[in-house]
Amino acid sequence: MVVGEWTIHYSKLLWGLQHLTLVLILLVAGFFLCSTLSNRYHHWEQAKVAQVAQSVAGDKLEQIVPQVRYVTQEPFTYTTQVDGKIVKVNDKREVNRLLSLAGSQVQVKLDQSTDVQNRSAVYRVDYSAEYKVVNRLNNIEKFFFEAQPPIGYSLLSNYKVERDRTRLEAVEPGNYSFAFQLPPGEEASFRVTYQAQGGHVGFITPPDSYFLTSV
């Protein structure tokens, strides 16, 4: 009688162990299967992103944020030889410095079409931006507003820089540097407008540049 009960309990225990072993095998196999599928999907997704990025490389419009540059004199020291002796000389040199923009407001209008072969998208961009400059310096009032056109465009038209609704002329043709004066404590507004065309247009990534990129 005792042996029979022990045999029944042993059979139940063995049956339970078999079920537990089966469950563990299924869990381990499922974990490795999910991990493998996840890794494969991750690599596939990364490869897909790389393929898309490669396909649009070179067509991306990028608008560099304008800079306000000024020139100041700073002291520096150098040594020279006079009559066989090393002499220390104190002098001044001109150094370019940047004044931070006090504010900006950018508006971009996009119009999508296709190229002549109807193979890829073409974006036409109507760009308008307002930039605020405040002179927080005490002894500087001559500045240069430097606003480069977008990088990567295929067509560019009506590129214009205005200060308080007055169009500015570049210091030299093609350098996009505009001289202006601003007394200490005063402020001025600049407006940059243009129409451009490119194949890849998008999101803003301040403070260095604006990426005009489709998603």
Tell me the pLDDT of the chain (215 aa) as tens digits: 544 555 555 565 556 556 667 666 777 666 666 666 555 544 554 455 445 444 444 456 788 889 999 999 888 788 887 777 888 878 788 899 999 999 999 998 888 766 555 556 677 889 999 999 999 999 999 999 999 988 888 888 999 999 988 999 999 888 899 999 999 999 999 999 999 887 655 434 444 444 444 33
Domain ranges (residues) in the chain: 1-36, 64-212
Q: Which residues pair with 71 in a beta bridge?
A: 96
Residue 157 exposed, middle or buried by CB count within 10 Å (0-12, 13-18, 19+): exposed
Q: How far apart are CA 121 and CA 110, in angstroms?
A: 12
Burial (CB count within 10 angstroms: exposed 0-12, middle 13-18, buried 19+), residue 202: middle
